[in-house]
Amino acid sequence: MSKKILIIEDEPGLRLTLGDRLRSEGYEVDTASDGLEGEAKATTGSFDLILLDVMLPGKGGFDVCRDVRQHGTTTPILMLTARGQTIDKVLGLKIGADDYLTKPFETMELLARVEALLRRNASPAAASSANYSFGDVKVDVRRTEVRKGGEEISLSAKEFQLLKYFLEHRGDTLSRDVLLHEVWDYDSTPTTRTVDVHIAWLRQKLEESAKQPRWILTVHGMGYKFAEG
């Protein structure tokens, strides 16, 4: 069955170009031209991936992303932005985006990001049935549910996948390159901080102290590891 992608983009030319290219790759595509329409489709439709522009009429992409996540939608979100500042990228990841791509971008890079996110967003039927716990945190992989002290914690799809990978490789030192390859399915570049940003937000949500983490540890000069207990 072909994967279904929602494009939320106000530029007609780009919306048409992206839609045609993705359809030629075998994807089903739906589109929205403003934030309000896009949010409505994202929260009521069944999509495997959302391409979300930051600068949108009606309602901005950051607000759409935040509200889609608050609605409980865990569909992977790839944000498209003309902004190059790190703070905008960090904000997008903080509010629930799984990846970002700065305009102008090469179509092949977009397709690679799309394929990586789709591969890593395993369906519930294919997901592992394992449960994990550490401290007062419990992780139900089958239900993609995380609870801390009995309270449900909202994680983006990519945050959950990263946490699951850490738990599956508990005690192993994992480099940024390994995490990018295994969780994001693409190679690192000299400027990427994707891994660091996602780990920072996992610490904020799961650790008692993000500045003095007990579980997600930095191994200086090598990467990260999840404490064994």
Q: Is residue 1 scored above 70 in pLDDT?
A: no
Count of beta carbons in the 10 Å neighbourhood of residue 141: 20
Say whether both 46 and 72 belong to one domain: yes
Last residue of a domain, one of 120, 150, 176: 120
Half-sphere exposure of 109 (CA within 13 A, CB side): 13
Q: What is the mean pLDDT of residues 122-132?
A: 57
Nearest CA-CA partner of 51 in 99, 3, 90, 116: 99
Say whether both 63 and 100 belong to one domain: yes
Say whether both 31 and 69 belong to one domain: yes
To the nearest 10°, the Cα dihedral for 202, 204, 207, 209?
A: 150
Confidence of residue 48 (pLDDT cuts 50, 70, 90): very high
Confidence of residue 190 (pLDDT cuts 50, 70, 90): very low
Radius of gyration of the chain (CA): 17
Question: How high does pLDDT run on average in the chain?
Answer: 87
Last residue of a domain, one of 92, 120, 148: 120
Count of beta carbons in the 10 Å neighbourhood of residue 86: 11
Last residue of a domain, one of 88, 120, 152: 120
- What pLDDT score does 123 carry? 46
Say whether both 139 and 108 belong to one domain: no
- What pLDDT score does 126 carry? 42
Confidence of residue 111 (pLDDT cuts 50, 70, 90): very high
Does 167 map to a domain? yes
Which one has a higher pLDDT value, 189 or 155?
155
Say whether both 105 and 18 belong to one domain: yes
Q: What is the pLDDT of residues 113-126, one digit of tens each?
A: 898 888 876 544 44
Q: What is the mean pLDDT of residues 157-183?
A: 89
Say whether both 113 and 148 belong to one domain: no
Say whether both 30 and 61 belong to one domain: yes
| Domain range for 34 | 4-120
Say whether both 111 and 12 belong to one domain: yes
Say whether both 156 and 112 belong to one domain: no
Which of 51-60, 125-134, 167-176 has the weakest average pLDDT? 125-134
Q: Say which CATH number the domain at 198 has.
A: 1.10.10.10
Q: Say which CATH number the domain at 40 has.
A: 3.40.50.2300
Collect all residues with Cβ–Cβ distance below 8 Å to 203 and sequence separation of at least 6: 210, 213, 216
Q: Is residue 102 scored above 80 in pLDDT?
A: yes
- Both tokens of 104, joined, read 């102008």
- What pLDDT score does 124 carry? 45
